[in-house]
Amino acid sequence: MIRYAPHASRPVLEGDLPFGAVAYVDADWLPSGGGDVAALVVTSDRSLLWGEEAEALAPGEDAERRVASSFLRLARRASDAVPVAARAACETPGRGLAAEWVRRLLDGARAEDGAPTAIVETRGDAASIAASSLRLADLGTLVLAGESAGAALPLDLYPNVHVRGLRLVGTDPLSPERAETSDGDEAFLAAFRGLVMDVRLGEPLPEGARCYRVSS
């Protein structure tokens, strides 16, 4: 289990990883107030661990490509959940890898003026969801694509979701299962390594990273 400790001068990831394992953590999965962090873990015996799910890598399969395809699938599902009519005024406020890819998949669409009619929220904490709810236009759609280590969040749905008629759309969570890839995926998968930054548990997190490759 990995935890995020947002010390003001020196935010770090703490905790334990199995010997020889590497964890992939999207920058948007770090809860702003600190706490347990969702992570996709590749173990030394070539398994992928995601929460309580475990998937074995095929012999000879590139583990990092498999991780990248999981992230890409997450981003695709999130972008697909945005109503077509709302894509022209859609925002994805996250700074992590999934958010970056959602923006690319949505062709960089963003609300030029006024409030967005859709937001893809790749952050999984209550404060971010509440902030996005507030920012959305009336009757807007909030795509919930953030990963959270906790099962449930405290949310006040009344002032924005209920009163302003917002729609919260749940998208499939990240999955370590193998998935077919298409030609269009290659550019994303090839770019993956360049978007991931290495960090060790207990060491200060590098600034500006979209995704962390964490080792002990």
Partner 1 sequence: MRVGQRLFSGAMVLGLKEFLNEQANRRLAGLGYSDGMIRDAKREAWWWLLARRDALARRRGLLAGEAVVWTDTGRAELIPVEVPAAGPGEVTIAVATSVVSPGTERAQYLRLPGARVSYPHRPGYSAAGTVFMVGKGVTGIAPGDRVAAVGPAHASVATLRAERVYRIPEGVSLEAAALVQLGVIASQGVRHAELRPGEPLCVLGLGLVGALAQRIASASGGGPVTAVVRSSRKQKVAETGGVQRLIALEEDEGALAGLSFPVVIEASGDPDAVETAIRLAEPGGRVVLLGSARGVTHAFPLREVRRKRVTVIGAHVETLTYESRLLGLDAHAREAGAFLARLADGSVPVADLVDLWVDPREADAFYRELARSRDLVAARFDWTKLANHERVHGARLWRPPDVRGRGMDAVRKPLVLNGRRPARNELPTASPYGAVSGDLRVGLVGCGDIAVHNAAGLAEAPNARLSACFDPDAPLAEELARQYGVAAAPSFESLLDRADVDAVFLAVPHHLHAPLAIEAADAGKHVIVEKPLANDLESAAAMVAAAERAGVVLSVCFPHRYDANALLAHRLVGEGALGSFAGTLLNFYSDKPASYWFGGFSGRSSSGWRSSRTQAGGGVLIMNVSHLVDLLRHLAGEEAEECFALTQVVDGPAEVEDGISVTVRYARGAVGTIFASSALRGQRAGGTKLDMWGSHGFLSIEPELRVYTLKAIEGLRTARWQSFPHANTNIRAAYLSRLATAIDMGEEPDVSARDGLAVQAFMEAAYRSSELGAPVRPAELLERVGA
Binding site residues, partner 1, CB under 8 A = 124, 126, 129, 138-139, 144-146, 148, 151-173
Q: Assign 124 to helix, strand or coil.
A: coil
Complex with partner 1: residue 90 or 145, whichever CB lies closer: 145
Write down the least CB distance from residue 215 to partner 1, Å.
27
Complex with partner 1: residue 132 or 171, whichever CB lies closer: 171
Cβ neighbors of 116 (< 8 A, separation 6 or more) are: 86, 89, 90, 91, 110, 135, 136, 137, 140
The dihedral formed by the CA atoms of 187, 101, 22 and 170, expressed in degrees to the nearest 10: -130
Complex with partner 1: residue 64 or 80, whichever CB lies closer: 80
Write down the least CB distance from residue 142 to partner 1, Å.
9
Write down the least CB distance from residue 185 to partner 1, Å.
22
What is the H or E stretch that residue 105 is in? helix 97-105
Checking phi first, is residue 15 left (phi over 0); if not, alpha (psi -120 to 50) or beta?
Answer: left
Complex with partner 1: residue 8 or 152, whichever CB lies closer: 152
Write down the least CB distance from residue 136 to partner 1, Å.
10
